[in-house]
Structure 1
């Protein structure tokens, strides 16, 4: 026992003397990562001085750590109090209870509209019923045209460039449009079967998506095998395929898919609700793509719905890694800053360069990091983090070890709890983290860790990264 205690004391002493560069080298040289591409950069948040690194100038796929860039730009350009506006507007004169024309729901890009997951926001039913009340309060009992979902605010390129086909039909591959609803996702309920290899049938979707058809190629996997189901489909199409497996069982199993055409679903939901409330709607639901957008400055506004402030949207973007919100932020910044013909992501590059952040080796395809063709050096991320070190409200949106977001249950009970801020990033073959470290000695560091082209399970890779994040708190500088 005495010999063991001496060995532990020696080990702790050596560990305490380990320098930051040694810690980084040990991580990068790990035997299980020998076939992977690694990049690490650690800097002093105040001076920007590099304190340790490994291949900091090698461009790596960042996955969702890229949301830190998009959200930082949005907070700076748009402001923490920026809000998105959705309006209900008549497209014609109202005479003796008759609206002679269309009724428009004019989107302003709000990603929170009708969300069941954003705190303090009305869900779909509440939003639709609010619009119904607004129509009835105006005395309208008949609409000679259609209810039109006007999503022209952002256009039709809701999904990011290069998003994989396997992602588009799932909730995390839902693009953003001028008019969004329920985070552009639906819940697909499946009835579990007790025999492995059998097909679990589709039970329902919530909300109901008119015209959506599934080819079900799912299989029942072993008990406890988890959600291995994927929905394959593309925006504006209504024939989707379900593949993969869900575990055997006797209950309902739920997965989430992406709504094919959110503006059309808004029009469909409101049309049904109006008719149920006794308001006649003559024509079928439509969107701006079929009947045209509401001409600017026309019509009578019946209702206006404002989103929560941008700071709260940024919180959810980073704490829950919400792709839809990140893509919305990118498009709103683009509308504000871009000139005609500018690529969506050029506004991000322009902002970085204006801040003096080198963009060599940078390629951006989207705002969320879902595209596998995004890449940039770790040094770019740490330069951004140094630049934004004083942006206290934005920094609060980054998960904190042992406290919030994806790090809520990570590094609890260690020196890193409440000290390491880190946005995670995960796509196939990629695991990354970036953020801040408030060390016990009072110094603040910034860091970016990226592992690309790995074949490890999370249970193998995550402990290595978490140990490096913990060591950033104590290793010698």
Structure 2
């Protein structure tokens, strides 16, 4: 016989769980409207920030590939380790003093500090490639040096191990969005490939030039014109250190201007060192030796520091990491987590520090399996509950404004571009800050919205195994966001 008292308790427990998730009954009917979700694995969760009160939770512990919403973890850990105003350093040293004629009978050293922004024009306040080389050369001349009887060394010992995470697929390697992370970065570790104009459908598209120019680089283009497309569908195939690259895919037809794509530099530290030597010589500083890389740090205590170059503040770097979903900066920051903890900057050591950060926040890592810091690998796994808890924790921190304003809004050209035309008529676009994530078969959104009373709500949505390329999944996410924006129900 079934115990009636037990049934009553069970019913009360069920009622309590439903009441704890007041919007859960609305989710499945919404999902049923969208054929894009058929055959997929998806999860969604949302809750208030201040009191952690849940609003809905559907498969919160299902492990899914997060795509670029993983950057929320990496940027949060970087803020925790360094603070929003931290600036990364790159230093110039000499191992002898110049004589009375301006001759340095010794060597010049670049001490790499893992600054992701060297020679980049992406971050406000950063010197671009030409400005950087000019600034460094000016510092050498101001030190009275007119001739270097020695070499220019770049110390890249701060990082170690593979420069690209192990699970990044071959189609991505070689492209700017999978640029290798190096202790000495330059020009976002990428270069531009300029194609000649070509308007004839199906015709081969030739490479016209590259910028910056790299000695020894050989490109073979197998790219053809797709007259029916307006998008870049060309992929560069080449591994780190590989100077022979092949380009496959299609580009739109162009009659006059040509087309430009970006690819990963095969060896950014060597390129920067070589260009520094060339710039020195073009400005009257003769260099008898050449540019070389060091994988073991020399004794800087015995040297003279000439100049320290500072990156823009971390909060400005995070603006690019999250609003522009820039993989390269995220991977550089992952390695910086290891350096901050006293280790060499490797993927493995960086991930260990990322796990430790989560656990310090009281967030379980049982359902977290990561291979990179950017979300580029399809093998990364975490749950919407992990993202939700992280977002709620970050909202309580004093550095939260740097985190919050690094996320995309509907006014940005970044992550929410696809949602802009859906949510804009709702007139509450200023109340949405989101980090998006997209990979083949993956669409994710996570971030914050404000309810009708201005209270902050954190949310996370992930869908895997999507096969349709329509915008149905974005409309589903829009419906979920509207539910949150309309809280509390009046």
Fold-level match, TM-score > 0.5?
yes
Number of the residue aligned with 1:380: 386
**Following the alignment from structure 2 to structure 1, what is the Cα–Cα distance between the partners of residues 44 and 144?**
63
What is the number of equivalent residue pairs in this alignment? 458
Report the equivalent of 1:107.
Answer: 112
Q: How far apart are the structure 1 equivalents of 2:45 and 2:74?
A: 20
Q: Are the structure 2 counterparts of residues 338 and 141 from structure 1 closer, same or farther at C-alpha, using a change threshold of 3 Å?
A: closer
Contact 2:449 2:484 (C-alpha < 8 Å) held by counterparts: yes
* 1:45 Cα deviation after fit: 1.4
Secondary structure in 2 matching 1:158: coil
1:282 to 285, 288, 292: 288
Contact 1:28/1:54 (<8 A) preserved = no
How much has 1:400 moved relative to structure 2?
Answer: 2.3
Matching residue of 1:440: 452
CA distance in 2 between partners of 1:24 and 1:94 (Å): 72
Tell me the CA shift for residue 425 of structure 1: 0.5
Change (3 A) 1:443 1:134: closer
Q: Is residue 36 of structure 1 aligned with residue 45 of structure 2?
A: no
Distance 2:113 2:367 in 1: 34
Structure 2 CA distance, aligned partners of 1:92 and 1:167?
44
Distance in 2 of aligned mates of 1:386 and 1:130: 43
SS at match of 1:312: helix
The alignment partner of 1:249 has SS state of coil
Structure 2 residue 43 is matched with structure 1 residue 20: no
Q: Does 1:332 align with 2:336?
A: yes
8 Å contact kept, 1:403–1:417:
no
- Cα deviation for residue 308 of structure 1 reads 1.1
Give me the whole-angstrom Cα distance separating, in 2, the residues matched to 1:39 and 1:367: 22
* Mapping 1:18-167, distance limit 5 Å: 20-29=23-32, 30-95=34-99, 96-167=101-172
RMSD across aligned positions (CA): 2.1
1:318 alignment partner in structure 2: 322
What is residue 216 of structure 1 aligned with on the other side?
221
**TM-score, normalising length: structure 1:** 0.91
Shift of 1:449: 0.3
Q: Give the conservation status (yes or no) of the 8 Å contact 1:24–1:40.
A: no
8 Å Cα contact 1:67-1:367 kept in structure 2: yes
Q: Structure 1 residue 188: deviation in Å? A: 0.7
Displacement, 1:392?
Answer: 2.7
* C-alpha displacement of 1:476: 5.9
| Counterpart in the other structure of 1:463 | 475
> Is contact 1:20–1:472 with CA below 8 Å preserved after alignment?
no
List aligned pairs for 1:197-236, cutoff 5 A: 197-236=202-241
1:261-288 CA deviation, whole Å, 9 max, x = no partner?
A: 1110111111111121222212232111
C-alpha distance in 1 between matches for 2:302 and 2:326? 34
State how far apart, in whole Å, the 2-side matches of 1:27 and 1:88 are: 59
Offset at residue 32 of structure 1 (A)? 2.7
CA distance, structure 1, for counterparts of residue 428 and residue 311 of structure 2: 35
Counterpart of 2:4 in structure 1 is none
Deviates more, 1:430-439 or 1:398-407: 398-407
- The reply on whether 1:348 has 2:357 as its aligned counterpart is no
* Cα deviation, residue 461, structure 1: 2.7
1:344 alignment partner, SS class: helix
Q: Is the 8 A contact 2:68 2:325 kept in 1?
A: yes
Q: Deviations over 1:197-218 (max 9, x none)?
A: 2211111111111111112111
**For residues 401 and 202 of structure 2, what CA distance do their matches in structure 1 show?**
52
Q: How big is the shift at 1:133?
A: 1.4
Deviation at 1:338, TM superposition (A): 5.5
Aligned to 2:349, the other structure's residue is in SS state coil
1:415 offset after TM fit, Å? 4.2
Q: Flag structure 2 segments of 5+ consecutive residues without an equivalent.
A: 1-21
Match of 1:15 in 2: none
Contact 1:200 1:219 (C-alpha < 8 Å) held by counterparts: yes
Query: Equivalent residue for 2:18?
Result: none
Residue segments in structure 1 that go unaligned for 5+ positions in a row: 1-18
Give the corresponding residue for 1:255: 261
**Separation (CA, whole Å) in 1 of partners of 2:135 and 2:411:** 40
Q: Aligned partners of 1:413, 1:402: CA distance in 2, in Å? A: 13
1:327 and 1:458 mapped to 2: Cα distance?
30
> Is the 8 Å Cα contact of residues 223 and 249 (structure 1) preserved in structure 2?
no
Other-structure match for 1:8:
none
For residues 399-458 of structure 1, what are the alpha-carbon distances to aligned partners after superposition, in whole Å with 9 as ceiling and x for unaligned?
123457423645223144111211000111110000111011333211100010101214
Per-residue Cα deviation, 1:10-50 (whole angstroms, up to 9, x for no partner): xxxxxxxxx62233223443333111110111112122232
Structure 2: how far apart are the matches of 1:338 and 1:132?
31
Task: Work out the CA distance in 2 between the residues paired with 1:338 and 1:165.
Answer: 32
With over 3 angstroms needed to count, the CA separation of the structure-2 counterparts of 1:157 and 1:297, relative to structure 1, is farther
CA distance in 1 between partners of 2:454 and 2:277 (Å):
59
Quick check: 394-403 or 164-173, which moved more?
A: 394-403
| Distance in 2 of aligned mates of 1:214 and 1:295 | 39
Relative to the length of structure 2, the TM-score reads: 0.89
Alpha carbons 2:158, 2:339 under 8 Å: kept? no
Q: Distance in 1 between matches of 2:25 and 2:278?
A: 65
